[in-house]
Structure 1
Amino acid sequence: MRVTAFDADDPATDNALLRYNILKQTPDKPSPNMFYIDPEKGDIVTVVSPAMLDREMKSRQRFSLMVDEAR
């Protein structure tokens, strides 16, 4: 998965550089840090073993991430 943000500043300036950060994961179980976001590209990947996910709930299990973009 990838998140994308756009900045109206001139792309040739440092003001247009964006960095991504995960602020919050809901639910925060089985681990509060199950995901990683590439701060430059916005790519999101899981960083925990698949065994940490409930096998019986995998098809219905949902996570919500609050992502921030910063300069």
Structure 2
Amino acid sequence: MTVAPTRFDLRGLKCPLPVLKTRKRLTTMASGDHLLVETTDPLAVIDLPHMCREDGHRLISTDVTENGHRFLIEKR
């Protein structure tokens, strides 16, 4: 059975808040959990992948949405 990722709506927030809030949320999750982050911040396409590399999380996918981006992250 696959567990759906936790959805985290950060639309409307500007840099650096999407990264700071995502990092904080990931600290409350178990290793292997998935977090689906939605954002409208144009810098998130740079900042969130960088945060994943820096913190050791796995960035599974990045998708362009109508108003921004969606990131699927696996907590490591």
- TM class by shorter chain equals under 0.3
Task: State the TM-score, normalized to the length of structure 1.
Answer: 0.27
Higher relative contact order (CA 8 A, sep 6+): 1
Task: State the TM-score, normalized to the length of structure 2.
Answer: 0.26
More helix by share: 2
